[in-house]
Structure 1
Amino acid sequence: MKDFQIVPTEDELNAMERDLSFHPSTNTSPKILTTQQVQQFNEEGYVRPLNIFDENEISEIRAYFDDLLARVVSGGGNSYSISSAHLKYGPVHDILTDQRIVDPVADLLGDNVIGWGSHFFCKMPGDGKAVAWHQDASYWPLSPSKAVTVWLAIDDADLENGCMKFIAGSHTKGHMTYRPSDSAEHNVLNQTIENPQQFGTEVDDPLKAGQASIHADLLLHGSEANHSDRRRCGLTLRYCSADVHADLGWNEKGVHVRGADPSGHWSDQPRPATQ
């Protein structure tokens, strides 16, 4: 299996014919979310906060991540390099497929859902790294744009330690022009969208450990650096409708988390044995 930590180049993405327009949820009878939350997702591009794991459960997940991070760092990685983790580590596969997360995602994406991404974004105390304003869809070789990110708080995330921020309603503005990030920005990623407030209202996304938010792949979002003495770790989980097409072999990292894949396009990767 190829190294899926490699982000497609701009030329590769530009060569693809992608439908980067928002496809609103048409679900009028959600099972977990309220109709108001589905409406909020359609209008503002996000739903928050969702209570997923209780204190004991998230404490166990945090202890697991602490050990995983120590192993990755000892192997030459860092707190941002644990990507496509569900393909490598059984416990992350378990989180990706946990029905308490999949249920609200299915309320937004429909009955056939693929889980395909998992990436820890862990800002260590005072590490000075920010996540510039961006759209997830800019980085993904997927079409049509029927995908969401679940941001699961492993630690408490607040303004002091660099929680996420959204630009409400920006997901309806289409794919936006970005520039390559300057090294002085200390950006974890490599794209920056200027003047984000022109696209909507800025909204903070503080979450307690065990809570999650869901946002559309076209929603403009980012986060400030962690200048506190507390860590801020989140696990991003990526899902899409099964009728989404993935180029560059990204369909190989899929897991069928709800329903079926009638096209047979997406792999259904088994749970890894590695802890």
Structure 2
Amino acid sequence: MLSAEEKAFYDREGYLLVRGALTPEELAQARRITEDWVEASRQVRESNELYDLDKGHSATMPRLTRIKLPHRNAPFFRDLLRNSRITQVLTDLLGPDTVINTSKLNCKAPGGGAAVEWHQDWAFYPATNDSLLAFGVLLEDMDEENGPLMVIPGSHRGPVLSHHHDGVFCGAVSPDDPDFDRDRAVTLTGKAGDMTVHHVRILHGSAPNTSTRARRILFYECASADAWPLLGGSSYIHALGQRRFHDDLLERVITGAPCYQPRLDSVPVRLPLPPALDNSSIFRTQEAGGMKSAFAS
């Protein structure tokens, strides 16, 4: 699906914007399921295994930061990753054997939905090589007012910045870090059904949603099958044990087959230890971590 020029751009800049990744029918179904989840959240009073609630959430005004693991909670979202245009982009960039690490449906409520501070996904879950990426599937039109994804081109080829504050992992980089050059940031806006792609090491973040419209993005975090997670990363898999880990791995295969010979590359690594004070989500990690915000007015 991707041209040679698009692949070269991704390799050089660390991101892509793919127009029309979803068909109109796929987009409509994704929206229906999402809306059902949002409606059901009216009865929820605190964050749980499905929802991360935003401040001010109520039955009359549902406000969510995240719907967790959509690919496990609705078969449609798993099938979408395995058999769609998204699948073609995945194999174009990572090769024939791929796995999913996690998924989430990030929601920013109108009028101030929470920002995501600047960070590198790699800081949360380093691996034996950096053939990992994230897809952001836009379920609504997105412009600069409703907190779109921003990336710093080429930063995936640079260092892993510190994501620590007061000696503890906080999931965000300091806006005063000399290697953080926000002036080079690119904002990725698009139409519903478009998709962003960003490399696991690229610096990225998103401002609060100041518009009157909800911002909903479906994120899939995926890896080449030969990129094995390092012990110490912030992933549930480290608590599974060998047999359950293998069973879980087989469930996470998207295309091709699992790999039992990890590829070891020379990649920069900073482990996210000591662990975050609250690692239940990136929003909680960043909020509890106390790092100075890059989006403070």
Q: What secondary structure, in the 3-state scheme, does the structure 2 residue paired with 1:191 have?
A: coil
1:249 aligns to what? 237
Correspondences of 1:82-231 after superposition (within 5 Å): 82-180=67-165, 190-195=171-176, 198=181, 201-231=184-214
- Please point out which of 234, 237, 252 is paired with 2:220: 237
Shift of 1:179: 3.8
One-letter amino acid of the structure 1 residue matched with residue 40 of structure 2: R
Query: Using a 3 Å threshold, how does the CA distance of structure 1 residues 171 and 70 change in structure 2: closer, same or farther?
Result: same
Shift of 1:120: 0.9
* Contact 1:114–1:256 (8 Å) recurs in 2: yes
1:39 aligns to what? 8
One-letter amino acid of the structure 1 residue matched with residue 158 of structure 2: K
Residues 237-262 of structure 1, C-alpha deviations (whole Å, 9 max, x = no match): 11100011134526526522111113
Shift of 1:141: 4.9
2:276 aligns to what? none
CA–CA separation in structure 1 for the residues paired with 2:114 and 2:74: 26
1:14 aligns to what? none
Identity of aligned residues (%): 26
Range with greater deviation from structure 2 (163-172 or 122-131): 122-131
Range with greater deviation from structure 2 (90-99 or 154-163): 90-99
1:272 aligns to what? none
Shift of 1:199: 7.5
Q: Could you tell me the TM-score, scaled by structure 1's length?
A: 0.75
In structure 2, runs of 5+ residues without a counterpart are 54-63, 239-244, 263-297
Shift of 1:48: 1.0
Q: What secondary structure, in the 3-state scheme, does the structure 2 residue paired with 1:156 have?
A: coil
Is 1:66 aligned to 2:35, yes or no? Answer: yes
Q: What secondary structure, in the 3-state scheme, does the structure 1 residue paired with 2:257 have?
A: coil
* Contact 1:158–1:206 (8 Å) recurs in 2: yes
Residues 204-246 of structure 1, C-alpha deviations (whole Å, 9 max, x = no match): 1002110101110001011110011001100101110001113
Q: What secondary structure, in the 3-state scheme, does the structure 2 residue paired with 1:116 have?
A: strand
In structure 1, runs of 5+ residues without a counterpart are 1-31, 182-188, 266-275
Shift of 1:67: 0.5
Shift of 1:99: 3.1
CA–CA separation in structure 2 for the residues paired with 1:102 and 1:124: 29
Query: Using a 3 Å threshold, how does the CA distance of structure 1 residues 94 and 264 change in structure 2: closer, same or farther?
Result: farther
Structure 1 segments, 4+ long, off by >4 Å, are: none
- Please point out which of 257, 260, 264 is paired with 1:260: 257
CA–CA separation in structure 2 for the residues paired with 1:200 and 1:46: 17
One-letter amino acid of the structure 2 residue matched with residue 260 of structure 1: A
One-letter amino acid of the structure 2 residue matched with residue 147 of structure 1: L
* Contact 2:161–2:173 (8 Å) recurs in 1: no
Identify which of structures 1 and 2 has the higher relative contact order when contacts are C-alpha pairs closer than 8 Å and 6+ apart.
Answer: 1
* Contact 1:46–1:214 (8 Å) recurs in 2: yes
CA–CA separation in structure 1 for the residues paired with 2:83 and 2:190: 19
Q: Could you tell me the TM-score, scaled by structure 2's length?
A: 0.70
Query: Using a 3 Å threshold, how does the CA distance of structure 1 residues 228 and 177 change in structure 2: closer, same or farther?
Result: same
One-letter amino acid of the structure 1 residue matched with residue 127 of structure 2: L
CA RMSD of aligned residues (A): 2.4
CA–CA separation in structure 1 for the residues paired with 2:70 and 2:209: 23
Query: Using a 3 Å threshold, how does the CA distance of structure 1 residues 193 and 101 change in structure 2: closer, same or farther?
Result: farther
One-letter amino acid of the structure 1 residue matched with residue 128 of structure 2: S
Q: What secondary structure, in the 3-state scheme, does the structure 1 residue paired with 2:67 have?
A: coil
CA–CA separation in structure 1 for the residues paired with 2:110 and 2:25: 24
